[in-house]
Amino acid sequence: MQRRILGLAAVLITIVGAAGCGSSDSGSSGPSASSGDKTATVKVGIIPIVDVAPLYLGQKKGFFDSRGIKLEMVSAQGGAAIIPGVVSGQFQFGFSNTTSLMIAQVKGVPVKSVANGAASNGKVGGDVTGVAVKQDSSIKSAKDLAGRTVAVNTLQNIGDTTVRESVRQAGGDPSKVKFVEIPFDQMPAALDGGRVDAAWMGEPAMTIAKGQGARVVASPFAETDPKLTVATYFTSTQVQQQNPDLVKKFTEAMAESLQYASDHPDEARQILATYTKISGDVQQKLTLPSWPASVDMASLQKLASLSEKDGLFGDKKPDLDALFK
């Protein structure tokens, strides 16, 4: 596993170097949204899950258009894949879980969080992510995950770190959990087909799995911290320094979008049909995260401590104030 982290770090550092030494296209700070009435097309790397509903809802409601920003969303498997795209200039902004951002920072990757993304809703048994097993599985609690195979969307990241914490709290041995990497949208089939013993899923994958008879045995986010800041929107430090007006406008539009989604959960559910392949029935049943206006620093301190225990940062520690404040 340690080799995987070092490999990712090498790729990220290579991309940073390429971005700094490449052409004006690859190394530019992106479009400006501050030139009169000009509209800037801004690419945002996202994961097609329920957490990013506010971004799409804000686009629909005109919160970005009113600030001269035309959004173009590009899908990826996870935050670890989006970070290189932002640093290289492929995207001006990205959506990433907070662990991926911490790992990137300690490896010297120039990233900066600019707006909150999503948080745990704090409900054990009903959070936006959970570990699910088949209905007839002998696994009854997180303790029983020791010695079993659990799917996560990205290895050595927020999924396996928080799953281990759930196992630890339940009295099991977190070091004995075997993790495999599977995209969220493939997890229900992998679980139903017996390819894995359990799967840590987000929405809408979780609701789809429940429709196939799966049951939840752990809620890693809520069990780690009921106010856990799960993900944020971020940019490169280059964009932040060279185009602060664009960053300011994006941050303001995102804040308005988060508030609107929080106040209008039904509309947040409806917008899912525009970027996920879910039926109306699943859309109505799925669990929503919390979309607070700001990050919860205490929860990030706890997540960083757990990630350090898992060896994700090597011999360094992330500077959470520099990254998230």
Crossing angle for the helix pair 2-21 and 98-106, to the nearest 10 degrees:
70
Residue 20 to residue 98: CA distance in whole angstroms: 24
Which of 224, 254, 285 is a domain's end point?
224
115 and 231 inside one domain: yes
pLDDT at 300: 98
Closest CA to 15 of 87, 82, 78, 79: 87
Tens of pLDDT, residue by residue, the chain (325 residues):
433 333 433 434 333 332 232 222 333 445 544 444 588 999 999 988 889 999 999 999 999 999 999 999 999 866 677 999 999 999 999 999 999 999 999 999 999 999 999 999 999 999 999 999 999 999 999 999 999 999 999 899 999 999 999 999 999 999 999 999 999 889 999 999 999 999 999 888 999 999 999 999 999 999 999 999 999 999 999 999 999 999 999 999 999 999 999 999 999 999 998 998 777 888 888 899 999 999 999 999 999 999 999 999 999 999 999 999 9
Residue 325 to residue 315: CA distance in whole angstroms: 23
303 and 213 inside one domain: no
Which of 224, 239, 270 is a domain's end point?
224
143 and 112 inside one domain: no
pLDDT at 225: 98
Expressed as residue numbers, the domain containing 67 is 2-120+227-324
CATH of the domain at 274: 3.40.190.10
94 and 138 inside one domain: no
pLDDT at 23: 28
The answer to whether residue 109 sits within a structural domain is: yes
113 and 6 inside one domain: yes
239 and 203 inside one domain: no
Which of 175, 207, 224 is a domain's end point?
224
The answer to whether residue 125 sits within a structural domain is: no
In the block, residue with structure tokens 């679980």:
191
Number of domains composing the chain: 2
179 and 35 inside one domain: no
**DSSP at 89:** T
The DSSP line for 168-208 is: HHTT--GGGPEEEE--GGGHHHHHHTTS-SEEEE-TTHHHH
- Give the pTM: 0.86
In the block, residue with structure tokens 């009295």:
171
249 and 183 inside one domain: no
70 and 26 inside one domain: yes
134 and 216 inside one domain: yes
